[in-house]
Amino acid sequence: MRMIKRGSISRSKALCIRLAAAVLSLLVCAIVIVAITKQNPLEVYAGIVDGAVGTGRRLWVTIRETIFLLIVAVGLTPAFKMRFWNIGAEGQILMGGAVSAAVMIYLGKSLPNALVILLIFVSSALIGMLWGLIPAYFKARYNTNETLFTLMLNYVAMQIVTFCIVYWENPPGSNTVGVINAANRGGWIPPLFGTYGMCVLLVAAVTVFIAIYMNRSKHGYEIAVVGESQNTARYAGINVKKVIIRTMMLSGAICGFAGALIVSGSSHTISTGTAGGRGFTAIIVAWMSKFNPAIMVIVSLFLAFMQQGAIQIASQFGLNENASDIITGIILFFLIGCEFFVNYRLEVTIKNSPKH
Amino acid sequence: MKKKVLSLLMTLVLSAGLLAGCGGNGAAPAAGGAAKAGSGTAASDIKIGAIYIGDENEGYTYAHMKGIDDMMSELGLSDAQVIEKTNIPEGEECFDAAVDLAEQGCNMIFATSFGHEDYLLQAAAEYPDIQFLHATGYQAASSGLENFHNYFTKIYEARYVSGVVAGMKLNEMIESGKITADKAKIGYVGAFPYAEVISGFTSFFLGARSVCESATMEVQYTNSWADMSMENEVATKLIQGGCVLISQHADTTGAPTACEAQGVPCVGYNVDMTSVAPTCALTSSANNWGAYYTIAVQSYLNGETIPVDWAGGYSDGVVYITPLNSDAIAPGTEEKVKEVETALADGSLHVFDASTFTVGGKQPEDELISDGYYHESEKVSAPSFAYIIDGITTQE
């Protein structure tokens, strides 16, 4: 058996391979479900759909989780397109969230709400920008390893948030901050067409902006060139250091802003779980989508859908939450694995048989 | 083109299949779910929701899940009448879970973790016809919501009894010459430095000192509810620092494991620790939440009002200590325990008897101290005793 790299593949054929992978993954999931739980897999799938979109409220929660994942993936896109391994979105989200909580706590009771929200957006983007700038500067200036650097900054952010929680905890000693400004809702993003309508609009705006920025602007082109080859970029007269720093500031700013949306738009508190692993999951989203924002919407939606469905089947069938992780894992395995068959084809050769 | 049509068809069939499956299995509408407290409800009509911070693999949540099960068999509820949501963090997910339970038609919704309270309050404000009940919280009385209630147990009573067991053991060690009386130092692995934990270790200490006068105690915090390696480490450190007996207010078996390795007697919490410390675990203080769940659901069914703040102890059968480990306890412990338990149940003994402790050398002035004792968990169900009394040292 030999692997042969495909020269090119038609879009419909690639789509067919991916669809086949999706169907296969659902089949394997069904087998696993039956084997472990003796439940009817169709019922379990129905439970997932019911949990994700079964009621208006559940639909909104799924939408919320989708857009939070999406905006982080969108924020990571410029960095990864530049082949800058930004593993630090988690920390950038946490810092943005912590600053948002600070604004809500210290200004949320005295200033008008619109101003508070504006301040939250600006300050969270700035702190995210700083959290992106630090590793970018060291990468550009000293060529440090950005993967380790951004990863370590996550821990710094986590410790800062832990400190903030102890500092703001309410009531003292409880190790939680509690819902901030529950009474006057100061700094809470107001609902629009539904609880999270405003967040949807904001995330959509950022997504469209990045789509245009990456594909239609000179900056976007420079990022793509630096990502392909720094030497080519230098030869073409692109200031690589400047591009790295500028791009990471943008990437960090969007992730910091994501933190603001999570804190001010949804949880109204800050904890070390505020980012909730989205900074890492979003990396999968960005790569699986090949940095295409439109596909990111679909992938984010799919992951959020499975996650919300999982919560439902956990309570409906008395399964542990881990059961849903297994399902999501199997599906991701097939979807990522099928990219191999999009890029390569297998040819079976029988020994001693004449070559054709 | 043909392939495109085919793939489109496949997608359609797949999604149609999923949707069709959904129709038969959708959540029951909330019809009839809004019976007000005061009207009375048949047991077969009630629907209960429960929100847990962890799952059955974690001692605290396990105790609550068992409590719900006990309540179900006591009142004859079917599995379909109870919806349990596990591993719900203390964030917006708790609000989502509470609202989802409300929309599924639950009449009573329980949540068990301290940080759930704010989110449960939000849901309670949105669904005034549904009863929301929160364990360990403190805001029910001040929230002004008629459908929001707090509950807790007088676990400090059981801790006091387990302290007596520990004190007897210390006496045995002194009498056998293993330690001198001035070396009777207890080590305590605490979770967080706030009232629930402080009230707990104080009652444990007062129980120990009631039988072993020379006892002292050192408390170290882990700043986590459940961190097995940290609890193990802190317990080991306490033993190295001269503590001859260990107790805990943290959820894992970390401390008893360390004690078994070092041969130091220990008192656990929530679950029987003899499985990990067969020769060292004396007993554990524990909650029997089922007693409360039965009372709460029964009052709803009877149409009676559910107390805004509820805390039960020995007299209600809500707290107990796990079976004494005869391989480890001092002789005479069983009789002493019975005597103390009876005195707690009939109200002749008060754990926070003001004559038994001082703070900074004198008795603290507190509006909750009257009739000679501190009225713990009476005004608000959550523990409030937060004095570090003389004889105890703490380290964060």
Task: List the CATH number of the domain containing B77.
Answer: 3.40.50.2300
- Report the distance separating Cα B157 and Cα B373, nearest Å: 14
Residue A200 has pLDDT above 90, yes or no: yes
Q: Is the CB of B27 less than 8 angstroms away from the CB of A16?
A: no
Q: State whether B118 and B220 are in the same domain.
A: no
Is some CB atom of chain B closer than 8 A to the CB atom of A145? no
Q: Is the CB of A46 less than 8 angstroms away from the CB of B89?
A: no
Q: What is the pLDDT of residue A321?
A: 67
Q: What is the pLDDT of residue B285?
A: 94
Query: Peptide bond before A191: cis, by omega within 30 degrees of 0?
Result: no
Q: State whether B134 and B173 are in the same domain.
A: no
Q: State whether B145 and B185 are in the same domain.
A: no
Residue B74 has pLDDT above 90, yes or no: yes
Least Cα separation, residue A74 to chain B (angstroms)? 23
- For chain A, the straight-line distance linking the first and the last C-alpha, in angstroms and rounded, comes to 14
Strand partners, A84: none
* Inter-residue contact B63 to B34 (CB < 8 Å): no
Q: Return the minimum-mean-pLDDT range out of A288-302, A326-340, B111-125.
A: A326-340
Give a yes or no: residue B35 inside a domain.
Answer: no
Give a yes or no: residue B251 inside a domain.
Answer: yes
Chain B positions in Cβ-Cβ contact with residue A268 (cut-off 8 Å): 92
Residue B4 has pLDDT above 80, yes or no: no
Residue A265 has pLDDT above 50, yes or no: yes
B348-366 confidence digits (pLDDT tens)? 999 999 999 999 998 888 8
Mutate to test the interface with B, among A23, A57, A170, A174 (most CBs of B within 10 A): A174
- For chain B, the straight-line distance linking the first and the last C-alpha, in angstroms and rounded, comes to 70
What DSSP assignment string belongs to A316-346?
A: HS---HHHHHHHHHHHHHHHHHHHHHHHEEE
Chain B positions in Cβ-Cβ contact with residue A23 (cut-off 8 Å): 10, 14
Q: State whether B94 and B104 are in the same domain.
A: yes
How far from B126 is each of A57, A162, A267, B132, CA to CA, in Å?
A: 13, 31, 17, 11
Average of per-residue pLDDT across A89-108: 95
Q: What is the pLDDT of residue B9?
A: 47
How far from B202 is each of A82, B186, B369, CA to CA, in Å?
A: 59, 12, 15
Average of per-residue pLDDT across B96-108: 94
Q: State whether B146 and B196 are in the same domain.
A: no
Give a yes or no: residue B91 inside a domain.
Answer: yes
- The CB density around residue A296, as the number of other CB atoms within 10 Å, is 27
Q: What is the pLDDT of residue B2?
A: 47
- Report the distance separating Cα B182 and Cα B263, nearest Å: 20
Q: State whether B141 and B160 are in the same domain.
A: no
Tokens standing for residue A1: 């058996």
Q: What is the pLDDT of residue A351?
A: 66
Q: What is the pLDDT of residue A353?
A: 55
Question: Which residue does chain B place closest to A170, by CA atoms?
Answer: B115
Q: Which domain holds residue B240?
A: 155-287+318-360+368-395
Give a yes or no: residue B327 inside a domain.
Answer: yes
Least Cα separation, residue B11 to chain A (angstroms)? 8
Chain A positions in Cβ-Cβ contact with residue B197 (cut-off 8 Å): 173
Q: State whether B107 and B212 are in the same domain.
A: no
Q: Which residues contact B221 (CB under 8 A, 6 or more apart)?
A: B190, B191, B192, B193, B197, B394, B395, B396
Domain locations in chain A as residue ranges: 1-39+320-356, 66-316
Q: State whether B258 and B356 are in the same domain.
A: yes
pLDDT band (50, 70, 90) for residue B30: very low
Q: State whether B183 and B145 are in the same domain.
A: no
Q: State whether B356 and B215 are in the same domain.
A: yes
Determine the 3-state secondary structure of B50 from DSSP. Answer: strand
Q: State whether B132 and B54 are in the same domain.
A: yes
Write down the architecture of domain A66-316 according to CATH: Orthogonal Bundle (1.10)
Closest of A349, A344, A331, A304 to residue A62, by C-alpha: A304
Q: Crossing angle for the helix pair A278-288 and A293-316, nearest 10 degrees?
A: 130
Determine the 3-state secondary structure of A6 from DSSP. Answer: coil
Average of per-residue pLDDT across B281-292: 94
Number of domains within chain B = 2
Q: What is the mean pLDDT of chain A?
A: 89
Supply the ipTM of this predicted assembly: 0.79
Give a yes or no: residue B18 inside a domain.
Answer: no
